[in-house]
Amino acid sequence: MVKGKLGIGTVLDGFRIDKLTHAGGMAHLWSVTREADGAGFLMKTPVVYEGEDPAAIVSFEMEQMIMPHLKGPHAPRHIANGDFATQPYIVMEQLPGDTLLPQLQSLPLGVDKVAALGAAVADALVSLHGQGVVHLDVKPSNIMFRSSGEAVLIDYGLAHHRDLPDLMQAEFRLPYGTAPYMAPEQVLGIRHDPRSDIFALGALMYFFATGTRPFGDPRTLAGLKRRLWRDPAPPRKLNPALPPWFQEIVLRCLEVKASRRYPTAAQLAHDLRHPEQVMLTARSGKREKDGFFAVLRRKGEPEMSLIDRPPRRAEASDAPIVLVAVNLDDMTPELAGKLRTTALRILERAPQARLAVLNVQKLNRIALDQTLDAEGNNKHVQRLAALKDWARPLRIEDAQVTYHVLEAVDPADAILDYARLNNVDHIVMGARASSAMRKLLGSVSAKVAAEAPCSVTVTRNRAHAKT
């Protein structure tokens, strides 16, 4: 370990320290410049003075292990690590702007802003969970935004990576996290369930929409454990202006049993972006906390009985979002049946899957489009009804399926945009019949298959199998 303290002008492995930007209890952040090319970065160094909490060192080791494995726009780009034998550090890209922490001075925020913020953070969780990482410390001070709009999660000192040793779990018995946002299973020492991050995001959205933390800010283990049996006040009791769909989403995120929460962050993001399609349950109408006897019953249960066995790891293969693109203008009964059969096969393999049934109403490039047909019926409403008719033989629960009619000049682009925005895992669509127009302009299914960010299954009639 290097002797003496770091300061302005210190050079470590070619990085010159220019400024101390933050002095925290577990780590310091420095603005640094790489002398070789003048590029600016952020350097993180642990607090390693005599008498400091050893968890600060272990969590820093965890972050050094995890950060080089992270990819994509939702985590800071990793540049370099420093050896503990000389001087431990992490150098990463320096993101402009601030975290969400200053937003606490303006709470409560409007529901539309909270929903948009929540959806963006859920997108970041989709990326992390897909890489096998559970963050375990989702809170305002660990969330930033790029200028392009993507949420970025920072500080991976408490995170769990499915393919790396979990030093925090191996070396400490007490749970580590930020008290207002810790999930019940995290309080009990379970660190590898991605739905813990969904709980934390639910607590954050509750706080941002009401100005009140759902479980307060407990300072003892006994206080933390209250969330295993004591539910928070319904958000609409604190802020009556909140709509039922928002309370439904947030209280589902805050369920004690992880199996009753959203199975994936992608499904949470989808509901936040399509509130009109949220299936309301008794959660949405709650006005008070659960009664005395309900709380007493939960308090009498063994703690670990509240936790799913076995808890899920950081993967979402059993709960995908499946997009079925239904072309109502060129759909034979045979092709409609094949689309249903394909969708059912996917649902049988993934019982927690979410089905998004979508139709694109093609717009004219030049001529004005009419919203009513010749009989005076609204075309959009008619197409929604037709999509529900298509899905009815599937006999799936209403909460598992949503319906969407998009209007676009290019149907393929509309399908692709929806898939990217809503973290779709699988697209199912039918191939259009052979025609001179198809040969001239190309196939919608071919473009989607070529450019989609996910798996694509294209079904077709036998008669068109060779077209």
> pLDDT tens digits for 236-250?
999 999 999 999 999
Mean pLDDT within 198-220: 97
Q: Would you say 288 and 234 are in contact if contact means Cβ atoms under 8 Å apart?
A: yes
Mean pLDDT within 44-70: 83
Domains and CATH numbers, the chain: 11-92 (3.30.200.20), 101-306 (1.10.510.10), 321-464 (3.40.50.620)
Q: Would you say 20 and 29 are in contact if contact means Cβ atoms under 8 Å apart?
A: yes
Nearest Cα neighbor of 141 from 111, 103, 186 is 103
Cis-peptide into 310, omega within 30 deg:
yes
Quick: pLDDT tens for 323-353.
999 988 878 888 888 899 999 898 888 888 8
Judged by average pLDDT, the poorest of 248-252, 376-380, 389-393, 424-428 is 376-380
Whether the per-residue pLDDT at 465 is higher than 50: the answer is no
The residue whose two tokens read 């499904």 is 267
Q: Which residues, in sequence order, are CB contacts of 217 under 8 Å at separation 6+? A: 179, 180
Nearest Cα neighbor of 325 from 437, 454, 462, 440 is 454
At residue 311, the pLDDT reads: 67
At residue 52, the pLDDT reads: 58
Helix axes 244-253, 195-210, angle to 10 degrees: 140
pTM of the predicted model as reported, rounded to 2 decimal places: 0.88
Q: To 10 degrees, the CA torsion angle through 48, 50, 52, 57?
A: 30
Helix axes 265-273, 111-130, angle to 10 degrees: 150
148 backbone dihedrals φ, ψ, rounded to 5°: -80, -5
- 3-state secondary structure at position 378: strand
pLDDT confidence bin for 49, thresholds 50/70/90: low
First to last CA, the chain: 69
Return d(Cα 260, Cα 252) in angstroms, integer.
7
Return d(Cα 252, Cα 99) in angstroms, integer.
26
Nearest Cα neighbor of 117 from 246, 228, 205 is 205
Q: How far is CA 389 from the centre of its chain?
A: 31
